[in-house]
Amino acid sequence: MKREYLSNTVLEKLPYHLRDFILKQPYDEYTAQNQAVWRYVMRKNIDYLGKVAHESYIPGLAKAGISTEQIPRMEGMNRILKEIGWAAVSVDGFIPPNAFMEFQAYNTLVIAADIRTIDHIEYTPAPDIIHEAAGHAPIIANPEYAEYLRRFGEIGSKAISSAKDFELYEAIRHLSIIKEDPATKPSEIKEAEVHIALISENMGPPSEMAGIRNMHWWTVEYGLIGTLDRPKIYGAGLLSSIGESKWCMGDQVKKIPYSIDAAKVEFDITKPQPQLFVTPDFAHLSLVLEEYANSMALRNGGLKGVRKLIESKNLGTMELSTGIQISGKFTEVIEDERSRPVYIKTTGPTALAYKNKELIGHDKNYHAQGFGSPVGKLKGINLAIENMSPTDLEVYGIYEGKKTELLFEGGVLVEGEIITGKRNLQGKIILISFRNCTVKRKDEVLFKPEWGTYDMAVGENIISAFSGIADPNSFGQQFEIPKEKTHKITYRSKEKTLFELYEQVRKIRQSENIKDEDLQFIFGQLIVNYPKDWLLPLEIYELLRSEDSFHLRTEVKSYLEQFCLDDSVKNLVIDGIRLIEEDKT
């Protein structure tokens, strides 16, 4: 990551593989109309959300460094967020779910660099800076919620995905990108929606990540808090949608007590939500999260956990009872007649670690072709290898320089000369290395002497299995960076001229040197050349405050009222006029 991003010490702790997602915020690319969209949404949000949002929202805006007057800069947000132990980074749209969660685990908000167009001012399916900055950031000023968010990221980033999850993610990302591009044909959007529906119908059994994704949606994105009859808003999707924040409070949206059942409830990002979940308080969110975490392979391991890693076809980590961690792509598990795992295998680059720190000499380059190891106790010996004292190890022929045979309960036979071993901090042996080694189970040969040194992980049980790498800083990039980038909108010369008019009005407001003749000239150009633009006339109307502006103010208001005949912008214009007139009062 370039130094310019690190304006907050929290970011210094980010592992390197996450830094590849970070972009320098393209602040100079925001048009004056983009700034006006931000300002309109924020003014309207603060007016309405002050009544229906959680009490942390309004004071949280200031604590997160967010102003109504302009799109926030990451540098400014980070200077202020560091006071509450958080940071913010700019990224390109949706990033892979596990990466998104891992950022959260490091107290870092992921903020999409783009901003919604004026045509999607009330709601956009694409992540944008209004949703991320004005939606997520204010509520983290509440310490209990901030800890929930961090803990959710910590647990969520370990959730195992299915092979289909990434396919669905890419399809949703594609739809969100093309929906925000004015040049997209309706037929393309329809085709993308059909594609998502087809994937969704053929996902198979829900993965751990699917449950985490649902819980994140119904809390962090679309959560309500309080009582069922008088809830408040805290979810970022609602806080950033001036349309749905009102819609959700009506009786047409069913309110349900939040519980672990939310993990099974799917959602559609393209439509208003038919039901929402209400938590009594933020502490309850953490209780439900812990309940879900108790069902994950992260805390249960075993044969089921390894199978989940194999089915995911993604990088994952398996931890044995000694604490040794094996990170790579798991491709096979051999089980005995009692359905216990007796041998596990990875294919391709694999690394070994202990307490999330890579073992020296056992990186992904050393184990570039994969790794395999038996699991369990030796046959006929009640004492697991990890629990053997030095005397026990000598009795059973497990010491350096000894040519030995180790027959495990699951039928795996390891024959070879012991070179050395590694122990954990408690003195338990966690890894044994052999030369001239053969490993087999019945007639199946699992390792041959000519393949080199055989490293055997030691552990009676698989206690954990989770997505990702134990020591990501040593392993390198583990998430696929999205190939499709957010489309940069190409503006025609006429649109650029409109943006120049927006900029002129913006400068007039900032200078407070308001001259009616300047506003009259700009308004005249709008009437002639941009009869569909409703937002800039609102900005002009707001500036006409003096008694001398009465006639021009009346003319502009009359012009704005014509837009009330258009149902697509009627409420936007009415609310805009109301806010201005209340402010004047």
**CATH classification of the domain holding 61:** 1.10.800.10
pLDDT at residue 203 tops 90: no
The domain boundary residue, chosen from 248, 269, 291: 291
Element (H, E) at 556: helix 550-562
Residue with the bigger pLDDT between 152 and 136: it is 152
Assess whether 426 and 501 both reside in one domain.
no
For residue 353, name the pLDDT band (cuts at 50, 70, 90).
very high
The pLDDT score that the predictor gives to residue 7 is 58
Q: Looking at the domain assignment, is residue 484 inside a domain? A: no
Q: Give the domain extent around 59.
A: 3-162+205-291
Residue with the bigger pLDDT between 98 and 124: it is 98
Q: What average pLDDT does range 296-311 have in this prediction? A: 96
Q: Looking at the domain assignment, is residue 144 inside a domain? A: yes
Residue with the bigger pLDDT between 374 and 4: it is 374
Assess whether 35 and 134 both reside in one domain.
yes
pLDDT at residue 480 tops 80: no
Assess whether 103 and 249 both reside in one domain.
yes
The pLDDT score that the predictor gives to residue 584 is 66
pLDDT at residue 521 tops 80: yes
pLDDT at residue 4 tops 70: no
Measuring CA to CA, which residue among 364, 383, 359 is closest to residue 432?
A: 359
For residue 476, name the pLDDT band (cuts at 50, 70, 90).
confident
Q: Which long-range contacts (CB under 8 A, 24 or more apart) does 531-536 make?
A: 533/498, 534/560, 534/563, 534/569, 534/572, 534/573, 534/576, 535/33, 535/36, 535/37, 535/40, 535/118, 535/576, 536/33, 536/36, 536/498, 536/501, 536/502, 536/505
Q: Looking at the domain assignment, is residue 485 inside a domain? A: no
The pLDDT score that the predictor gives to residue 582 is 86
- Residue % of the chain over a pLDDT of 90: 68
The domain boundary residue, chosen from 241, 266, 291: 291
Q: Looking at the domain assignment, is residue 488 inside a domain? A: no
Assess whether 209 and 83 both reside in one domain.
yes
The pLDDT score that the predictor gives to residue 1 is 40
State the total domains in the chain. Answer: 4
Q: What average pLDDT does range 331-345 have in this prediction? A: 95
pLDDT at residue 532 tops 60: yes
Assess whether 13 and 74 both reside in one domain.
yes
Residue in the structure block whose two tokens are 């939606």: 135
Q: Looking at the domain assignment, is residue 480 inside a domain? A: no
The pLDDT score that the predictor gives to residue 179 is 84
Q: What amino acid is encoded at 26 in this protein?
A: P
Q: What average pLDDT does range 80-100 have in this prediction? A: 89
For residue 165, name the pLDDT band (cuts at 50, 70, 90).
confident
Q: How far, in Å, CA of 74 to CA of 88, rounded?
A: 7
The pLDDT score that the predictor gives to residue 72 is 92
Q: What amino acid is encoded at 351 in this protein?
A: A
Assess whether 315 and 440 both reside in one domain.
yes
Assess whether 257 and 352 both reside in one domain.
no
Q: Looking at the domain assignment, is residue 364 inside a domain? A: yes
Structure tokens at 384: 């697991």
The pLDDT score that the predictor gives to residue 217 is 95
Residue in the structure block whose two tokens are 């799917």: 266
The pLDDT score that the predictor gives to residue 262 is 97
For residue 182, name the pLDDT band (cuts at 50, 70, 90).
confident
For residue 377, name the pLDDT band (cuts at 50, 70, 90).
very high
Assess whether 384 and 509 both reside in one domain.
no
pLDDT in tens, 27-50: 999 999 999 999 999 999 889 998
Assess whether 253 and 391 both reside in one domain.
no
Cβ-in-10-Å burial (0-12, 13-18, 19+) of 564 comes to middle
The pLDDT score that the predictor gives to residue 40 is 95
The domain boundary residue, chosen from 228, 259, 291: 291
- Residue % of the chain over a pLDDT of 70: 98
What's the chain's average pLDDT?
91
Query: Do 323 and 462 meet the contact criterion of CB atoms below 8 Å apart?
Result: no
Assess whether 378 and 422 both reside in one domain.
yes
Assess whether 465 and 371 both reside in one domain.
yes
Total residues found in the chain within this entry? 585
The pLDDT score that the predictor gives to residue 155 is 97
For residue 3, name the pLDDT band (cuts at 50, 70, 90).
very low
Q: What average pLDDT does range 388-398 have in this prediction? A: 91
Q: At what angle do helices 32-52 and 535-543 cross, to 10 degrees?
A: 80
pLDDT in tens, 412-459: 999 999 999 999 888 889 999 999 999 999 999 999 999 999 999 999
For residue 585, name the pLDDT band (cuts at 50, 70, 90).
low
Q: What average pLDDT does range 355-373 have in this prediction? A: 96
Q: What average pLDDT does range 529-536 have in this prediction? A: 96
Q: What average pLDDT does range 530-552 have in this prediction? A: 92
Q: Looking at the domain assignment, is residue 311 inside a domain? A: yes
For residue 2, name the pLDDT band (cuts at 50, 70, 90).
very low
Q: Looking at the domain assignment, is residue 579 inside a domain? A: yes
pLDDT at residue 270 tops 80: no
Longest CA–CA separation in the chain, Å: 103
Q: 124-133, 355-364, 369-378, 440-449: which has the minimum mean pLDDT?
A: 124-133
Measuring CA to CA, which residue among 562, 529, 563, 556 is closest to residue 542?
A: 556
Assess whether 83 and 225 both reside in one domain.
yes
Q: What average pLDDT does range 58-80 have in this prediction? A: 90
Q: What average pLDDT does range 48-66 have in this prediction? A: 91
pLDDT in tens, 286-301: 999 999 999 999 999 9
The pLDDT score that the predictor gives to residue 485 is 84
